[in-house]
């Protein structure tokens, strides 16, 4: 079972490396306060060795991001550039190896 420290450590890595691209501005997930929710959702996959690109994409599709003061909402998956998705998978694989 993941401890709060484990999830916070993963969240920190995600938050400082993965970003949303908005009009060519890079908003890191830590600044957007989305890093912890991503870590909480993906951590169980790391524990039971079920990490896959499809599973991570499904999680990112399921995390809503409010825009314009809540006037609209997009899935986190839509806001992440492809390179960030690749980096996220690499980061998760590395993290899993170190567990």
Strand, coil or helix: 94: helix
Extents of the domains making up the chain:
4-97
Tens-place pLDDT, residues 29-42: 999 999 999 999 99
Q: What is the pLDDT of residue 60?
A: 98
Residues of the chain short of pLDDT 50, as ranges, are none
Compute CA 63 distance to the chain's CA centroid, rounded to the nearest angstrom.
Answer: 9
Q: CA-to-CA distance for 99 and 82, rounded, in angstroms?
A: 26
Could you tell me the CA-to-CA distances from 77 to 57, 88, 98 in Å, in that order?
Answer: 7, 11, 26
DSSP string, 12-48: HHHHHH-EEEETTEEEETTTTT-HHHHHHHHHHHHHT
């Amino acid at each position: 079972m993941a401890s709060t420290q484990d999830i916070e450590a993963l969240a920190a890595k995600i938050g400082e490396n993965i970003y949303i691209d908005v009009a060519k501005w890079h908003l890191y997930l830590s600044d957007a306060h989305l890093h912890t929710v991503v870590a909480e959702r993906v951590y169980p996959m790391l524990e039971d060795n079920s990490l896959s690109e499809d599973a991570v994409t499904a999680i990112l599709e399921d995390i809503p991001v409010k825009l314009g003061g809540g006037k609209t909402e997009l899935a986190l998956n839509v806001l992440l550039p492809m390179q960030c998705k690749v980096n996220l998978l690499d980061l998760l694989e590395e993290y899993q190896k170190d567990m």
